[in-house]
Structure 1
Amino acid sequence: MTTGPVTFPLGPFTPHDKNPIMSPQGDTWESGSVYNPAAIVVEDKVALLYRAHADDIISHVGLAWSTDGFTFEREAEPVLSPSEEYDRFGCEDPRVTEIDGTYYLTYTGWDREHALLCLATSTDLRQWTKHGPLFPDFDTFQPQGNDRPGPWSKAGGILPVQVDGKWLMYFGEGSIWLATSTDLLHWTPVTPDSEPPIMAPRRGTFSDFLVEVGPQPLVTDDGLILLVHNAATKNADGTVRYTAGQLLIDPARPTEILAELTRPWIEPTTYEDTHGLVSNVTFVEGLVFFQDSWFAYYGQSDSTLAVATFTPGKDRWSEVRVP
């Protein structure tokens, strides 16, 4: 479970001056793009579970380790790869939470028609048991709708502590929803997709087009829930721009937002952020407290992998330019 000081808003975060910290390599499964990583601290090391693919854009999940949070050594082979009908064209965009020695990994299974939020578990981050799609009939793009008919779900962030005897998961691309579980394997949406979500796109803001759950939620020092989310606007030419925000939620009323950032805390600024497979994207999926600092790991334009850091007690909002 993530430990460390958590206040709202969390930050300010400063992108590492040597980004990207990981890029495509070789001529096989990670030769095209390396991005969108989950992160967790294991025995004084940061482990990244990152998305990677060759030019075929069939995604796998790789594993890399670091003793400083910046320089990573990759394992040679992916730890999660397409093997089922529902993920035969990609295991994408992982998020990870550790509870009582078990790692719970949510990822997107892609069959080139539907994106389905899936679950896998492990005790060592290398051998994973797939448990299949969690919400096979759910469309998280409601109420605004999606261009594709049928079910669609992505992005599951599991809170590492129980609330009133239940586990909570915030999930969704398009809009953000809540699900609960008693065993961490079987999840039930709190409201059906025919009812309003917890958060939908905010017209005229940095989340005008869509919102999507980021890393696993955190518990703040005063007992509230902090949820980092990704957000996007869509330009007239059909291109998108992804940034990230933060939400504050009372666990006693977990479907209601108490507060939210009205401007992004990270946004595309560098060449890698603004040029790539899908340009103008900073997409956060990993967040850990490590060596007295917070490390936020994110994908740059669906092509490379970067990190931004925040040291509590040292970094101050008044000393940085807020995006």
Structure 2
Amino acid sequence: MKRCIRNPLITIEDVKPSREGLRVEGIFNCGVCQYQDEILLVCRVSESAGFTSQSVKIPIMVQNGSNMAMNVVEVVKAEHPEWDFSDSRSVRQKTPHGIKTVYLTSFSHLRLARSRDGINFTVSDSPMVQPVLKEESWGMEDPRVTRVGDTYYINYTAVSPQGPATALLSTKNFVDFKHCGVIFAPENKDVVIFPEKFGDLFYALNRPVSEAFGTPEMWICESPDMIHWGNQRHFCSVSGNRWESGRIGGGAVPFRTEKGWIEFYHAADENNRYCIGAMLLEANHPEKILARTENPVFEPEIGYETSGFFGDAVFTCGCYQNSNKIVLYYGAADDKICRVDFTLEEIYRSLKL
């Protein structure tokens, strides 16, 4: 395992705010693909409208005729003593039905970054797409890119007061995009779609969450067309290992090897320290887990991973395979993009193969 010596590759200083009055808080958690002679990152960019010790300004999208338009809501903390402002990412409230998110402190959109060498990236000056759904009124987050033939499918978390759902885009050229709508209702996120059909069906990992009981864990499901998903069944649980005892979910889009499918997944402990693990899935039956790492293959250790908007977090949404080398891009501390390289042999050893 080798971190890129140029890390972090992309920081907030490389990103132009999408509009006047907003401040870039982070660029992270990027989907990855090879397109023509470039490496493309579909990045999550989070922006805030400003905050002080007394108040916070909340950027949200609201319906404006047939379009969505940005609106900024200013919340004075003293006027809402029942709200919890301690988390840098959200405003929460304790209710008889549990802890509820009242607002997110930032709004995320998707933005392209391009590179010919996988290290030096140019970030677009504007969002890749604009929100069109009310289910995106609080943002578009954590994209994954799955290529099938000459079509690139981009699934992402669509966030609204109704909860985090998963929506889908498709494109052939990263200029023209088709909005396919919501494909998983709230609360369901961390979706990764396999890049091949199994028989007549696509497969996807997903992470539904029950507020009543249970733990955020991974499920697997099927679809004939990428839009309609069903035959949900439980796929993978948290383990007794402390680093993944809190929650687990999909990470990068799986890639095929001679031993089966490799899936890099994310996991967190009870203190929300996010690490990356790996599992091997059977080649023709991806619902079968053949091996799983006991320890993280990658964890936050360097300063740019332990300190940031949300520290002690490494989180991947994509990688690509170059012969025996796996290039994995990850969000570090929820505000920057970095790269780490593995060999297949290193991954196999971590899986005790």
Q: Which residue of 1 aligns with 2:294?
A: 262
Q: How does 1:230-249 map to 2 (within 5 A)?
A: 230-235=266-271, 240-249=272-281
Q: Which residue of 2 aligns with 1:250?
A: 282
Distance 1:274 1:45, change over 3 A: same
Deviation sequence 1:140-198 (CA, Å, 0-9, x none): xxxxxxxxxxx31112211111112211111226211111111223222433xxxxx21
Contact 1:59-1:81 at 8 Å conserved across structures: no
Deviation sequence 1:228-270 (CA, Å, 0-9, x none): 10000023xxxx1000111112244433322100000110011
Q: Which residue of 2 aligns with 1:59?
A: 108
| 1:180 to 2:222 alignment | yes
Provide the rounded CA distance (Å) in 1 between the counterparts of 2:343 and 2:223. Answer: 34
The alignment covers a number of residue pairs equal to: 282
Tell me the CA shift for residue 289 of structure 1: 2.1
| 1:24 to 2:6 alignment | no
Farther off after superposition, 167-176 or 101-110: 167-176
Deviation sequence 1:15-49 (CA, Å, 0-9, x none): 11221100113562372210000100112211000
Provide the rounded CA distance (Å) in 2 between the counterparts of 1:294 and 1:254. Answer: 20
Contact 2:247-2:269 at 8 Å conserved across structures: yes
Secondary structure at the aligned position of 2:308 is classed as: coil
Deviation sequence 1:277-298 (CA, Å, 0-9, x none): 2110000111012486321000
Q: Work out which of the residue numbers 163, 171, 175 in structure 1 matches 2:198.
A: 163
Structure 2 unpaired stretches of 5+: 50-105, 209-215
Deviation sequence 1:48-101 (CA, Å, 0-9, x none): 000002124111111011111111012221113322110111010000011121
Structure 1 unpaired stretches of 5+: 1-12, 137-150, 192-196
RMSD: 2.2
Tell me the CA shift for residue 306 of structure 1: 0.4
Q: Which has the higher strand share?
A: 2
Provide the rounded CA distance (Å) in 2 between the counterparts of 1:188 and 1:21. Answer: 38
Q: Which residue of 2 aligns with 1:124?
A: 173
Contact 1:159-1:217 at 8 Å conserved across structures: yes
Q: Which residue of 2 aligns with 1:203?
A: 240
- Name the amino acid aligned to 1:225: W
| 1:33 to 2:33 alignment | no
Contact 1:34-1:302 at 8 Å conserved across structures: yes
Provide the rounded CA distance (Å) in 2 between the counterparts of 1:293 and 1:252. Answer: 23
Deviation sequence 1:201-252 (CA, Å, 0-9, x none): 1134321000010111111213x222110000023xxxx1000111112244
Query: More relative contact order in 1 or in 2 (CA 8 Å, sep 6+)?
Result: 1
Q: Which residue of 2 aligns with 1:153?
A: 188
- Name the amino acid aligned to 2:5: D
Provide the rounded CA distance (Å) in 2 between the counterparts of 1:113 and 1:89. Answer: 10
- Name the amino acid aligned to 1:216: V
Contact 1:198-1:255 at 8 Å conserved across structures: yes
Contact 1:227-1:247 at 8 Å conserved across structures: yes
Q: Which residue of 1 aligns with 2:327?
A: 295
Contact 2:135-2:162 at 8 Å conserved across structures: no
Secondary structure at the aligned position of 2:48 is classed as: coil
Q: Which residue of 1 aligns with 2:119?
A: 70
- Name the amino acid aligned to 1:283: F
Q: Which residue of 2 aligns with 1:98?
A: 147
Secondary structure at the aligned position of 2:311 is classed as: coil
Secondary structure at the aligned position of 1:86 is classed as: helix
Contact 1:33-1:53 at 8 Å conserved across structures: yes
| 1:306 to 2:295 alignment | no
- Name the amino acid aligned to 1:184: M
Contact 2:16-2:125 at 8 Å conserved across structures: no
Identity of aligned residues (%): 24
Provide the rounded CA distance (Å) in 1 between the counterparts of 2:284 and 2:30. Answer: 30
The structure with the largest alpha-carbon Rg is 2
Q: Which residue of 1 aligns with 2:83?
A: none
